[in-house]
Structure 1
Amino acid sequence: MKQTIPVYDICTISAGHQHQDLLAERLEGYLKKNYQRVHQQHGHNFYHLVLFTKGNGEHTLDFTRYTVQPWQIYFMTPGQVHSWHFKEGTDGYVIHFSASFFHAFLMQHQYLEHFPFFSGNSKEQVLNIPANGREEVKAVFEQVLKEAAGANEADMIRVLLLQLFLLVNRVTVKEPKKAVPQQKQLVLRNFRQLINKHYRRLRLPKEYAELMYITPNHLNALCQDLLGKTAGELIRERVLLEAKRMLTNEDLTVTQIATDLNFEDNSYFSRFFKKYEGITPEEFRNSLI
Structure 2
Amino acid sequence: MHTEIKTYGLVDKAGQPTDFILKDMGALYDSFGGQADRPHRHDYFTILLIEKAKGVHAVDFKSYDLFDHCLFFIYPGQVHQLIAEGRPEGWVINFSQLFLVQHSIPDRMINDVYLFNKHGETPPLPVSEDNFQHYKDIIRQIQQYSQLDSSMKDDALGALLKLMLVQSNSHCSLQKEKNPQTIEAGNQLVRHFKELIEKHYNELHKVSDYADMLAVTSDYLNKSVKSITGKSAKEFILDRILVEAKRVLLFTETTNKELAFQLGFEEPSHFSNFFKRYTNSSPLDFRNAARQA
Aligned partner letter, 2:131:
G
Q: Which ranges of structure 2 fall in alignment gaps of 5 or more residues?
A: none
Percent of aligned positions with the same letter in both sequences?
A: 26
Alignment of 1:85-104 (within 5 A): 85-104=83-102
Tell which deviates more after alignment, 53-62 or 189-198. Answer: 53-62
Give the aligned CA root-mean-square deviation in angstroms: 2.5
The count of residues paired between Structure 1 and Structure 2 equals 286
Q: Report the Cα distance in structure 1 between the residues aligned to 2:33 and 2:283, rounded to whole angstroms.
A: 29
Q: Give the 4+ runs in structure 1 shifted more than 6 A.
A: 35-38
Q: Is contact 1:55–1:69 with CA below 8 Å preserved after alignment?
A: yes
Q: Report the Cα distance in structure 2 between the residues aligned to 1:261 and 1:124, rounded to whole angstroms.
A: 23
Q: Is contact 1:15–1:34 with CA below 8 Å preserved after alignment?
A: no
Q: Report the Cα distance in structure 2 between the residues aligned to 1:155 and 1:108, rounded to whole angstroms.
A: 15
Q: Report the Cα distance in structure 1 between the residues aligned to 2:201 and 2:183, rounded to whole angstroms.
A: 27
TM-score, structure 1 normalization:
0.89
User: 1:267 maps to which residue?
Assistant: 269
- Note the C-alpha offset of 1:108: 3.5
User: 1:28 maps to which residue?
Assistant: 26
Per-residue CA distance 1:95-134 (angstroms, 9 max, x = gap): 1001111113227444421232123355354111112202
Q: Report the Cα distance in structure 2 between the residues aligned to 1:232 and 1:146, rounded to whole angstroms.
A: 46
Q: Report the Cα distance in structure 2 between the residues aligned to 1:233 and 1:206, rounded to whole angstroms.
A: 13
User: 2:66 maps to which residue?
Assistant: 68
Tell which deviates more after alignment, 173-182 or 185-194. Answer: 173-182
- Note the C-alpha offset of 1:267: 2.1
**How has the CA–CA distance of structure 1 residues 59 and 287 changed in structure 2, closer, same or farther, with 3 Å as cutoff?**
farther
Q: Report the Cα distance in structure 2 between the residues aligned to 1:201 and 1:110, rounded to whole angstroms.
A: 27
**How has the CA–CA distance of structure 1 residues 21 and 233 changed in structure 2, closer, same or farther, with 3 Å as cutoff?**
same
Q: Is contact 1:25–1:145 with CA below 8 Å preserved after alignment?
A: no
Q: Is contact 1:115–1:169 with CA below 8 Å preserved after alignment?
A: yes
Tell which deviates more after alignment, 268-277 or 114-123. Answer: 114-123
**Residue 211 in 1 paired to residue 213 in 2?**
yes
User: 2:163 maps to which residue?
Assistant: 163
Residue among 188, 195, 201 paired with 1:199:
201
**How has the CA–CA distance of structure 1 residues 190 and 38 changed in structure 2, closer, same or farther, with 3 Å as cutoff?**
farther
The 3-state SS of whatever aligns with 1:117 is coil
Residue among 277, 280, 285 paired with 1:278:
280
Tell which deviates more after alignment, 60-69 or 99-108. Answer: 99-108
**How has the CA–CA distance of structure 1 residues 136 and 189 changed in structure 2, closer, same or farther, with 3 Å as cutoff?**
same
